[in-house]
């Protein structure tokens, strides 16, 4: 079940990185 915990911890960080990347890309 460790992969499920890894996925849950990965999703928020990926969302933050994606938002930050699109914010930088827009400028």
pLDDT (tens place) for every residue of the chain, 27 residues total: 676 777 777 888 999 999 999 999 887
The confidence score (pLDDT) of residue 12 equals 86
The confidence score (pLDDT) of residue 23 equals 92
In order, the DSSP letters of 1-27 are -HHHHHHHHHHHHHHHHHHHHHHHHH-
Question: Distance between CA atoms of 26 and 17, rounded to whole angstroms?
Answer: 14
Q: Does the reported pTM lie above 0.85?
A: no
The confidence score (pLDDT) of residue 1 equals 64
The confidence score (pLDDT) of residue 22 equals 94
Token couple for 10? 């990965």
């Amino acid at each position: 079940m460790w992969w499920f915990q890894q996925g849950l911890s990965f999703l928020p960080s990926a969302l933050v990185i994606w938002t930050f990347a699109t914010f930088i890309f827009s400028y």
